[in-house]
Chain A
Amino acid sequence: MAGASEFLSLDAAIAHLHPATEFVRRGAVQAGLSGDCLGAVDLVLEELFVNVALHAYPPGVTGEVGIAWSVPRPGLLAVEISNTGEAFDPLLQLEPGLSDSLRDRPIGGLGIFLVRRLTSSLTYVRDGSRNRVRFEISASNYD
């Protein structure tokens, strides 16, 4: 349903990943997304949510993560993940080396790489005290 939108605030902890996923899926269904496109929404949401849960706040501090979804038009889902941690633009992360042997392949760095590949739009802004990462996923990319 175009024009629909919702907002949810959760503790930024991996234990809350599944409620976050369920929440954004509601938006994906409203947008009419299905199949592998729904899986891509889950994956992008997880990568950005886990990034906040692990890195946005100091160790021992459970901060907040805001999640908002909207449906700009049928077949398009827009999601914003925000937090009040230190200013951090995840889009500045260098792309991981992909041509190494398994022995030399670093175990990290693939999350944001996947986010870039699976989204049709990806932006970061520092808005006052909040980091805001916004992405869009379009059904037309998964036909």
Chain B
Amino acid sequence: MEDSESVNIESSRNGVGVVIKVVGRMDAESAPEFEEACKSWVDQGIYQLVIDMGELAYVSSMGLRSFITVGQLAQQKGGNVYLCSMRGLVRQVFEITRLIGLFPVHNSVDSALAPQ
């Protein structure tokens, strides 16, 4: 399968947190990569994880498991996982499973990073 069918993850530190941009498809093969990337930040003491999902085209239940796992881990440490720029099928999947109500959701990364 083409590279466009896998997931690409880019992380950048921002203040007390990290912005993690997820591009492509998060399925059974690629979800562990996302989960490990998030866990590595938590292991480094970074508990505010801002997930840029604007270019995430697909997420399956294995991807949802990773979001739940990472969200629980961050909250246990006093942090949180912020979901930004969800669209299309990805937003639909989060809505169907009512996960959208369990995470802070923002229309943009800038909105998530803005002072509260």
Whether A46 and B60, one on each chain, are in contact in the complex, defined by CB atoms closer than 8 angstroms, is yes
Find B1's partner among A14, A18, A50, A107 (CB 8 Å cutoff): A18
Q: For the complex, give the distance between the alpha carbons of A17 and B69 in Å.
A: 23
Whether B62 and A105, one on each chain, are in contact in the complex, defined by CB atoms closer than 8 angstroms, is no
Please classify the interface of chain B as helix (H, G, I), strand (E, B), loop, or mixed, using the class held by over half of its residues.
helix
Whether B75 and A114, one on each chain, are in contact in the complex, defined by CB atoms closer than 8 angstroms, is no
Please classify the interface of chain A as helix (H, G, I), strand (E, B), loop, or mixed, using the class held by over half of its residues.
helix
| Total A-B pairs, Cβ < 8 A | 73
**Interface hits, B18-54 → A, CB 8 Å:** 27-29
Stretch in A64-72, A94-102, A121-129 touching the partner: A94-102
Find A21's partner among B1, B61, B88, B102 (CB 8 Å cutoff): B1
Q: For the complex, give the distance between the alpha carbons of A118 and B60 in Å.
A: 12
Find A40's partner among B1, B89, B99 (CB 8 Å cutoff): B89
Chain B residues at the A interface, C-beta cutoff of 8 Å: 1, 5, 27-29, 57-58, 60-62, 64-65, 68-69, 71-72, 75, 88-89, 92-93, 96-99, 102-103
User: Can you list 26 pairs linking A and B with CB atoms under 8 Å apart?
Assistant: A14-B28, A14-B29, A15-B29, A17-B28, A17-B29, A18-B1, A21-B5, A36-B88, A36-B89, A36-B92, A39-B88, A43-B60, A46-B27, A47-B60, A50-B28, A99-B98, A102-B71, A105-B72, A107-B72, A110-B65, A111-B61, A113-B96, A113-B97, A114-B61, A114-B93, A117-B96
Chain A residues at the B interface, C-beta cutoff of 8 Å: 14-15, 17-19, 21-22, 36, 39-40, 42-43, 46-47, 50, 98-99, 101-103, 105, 107-108, 110-111, 113-114, 117-118
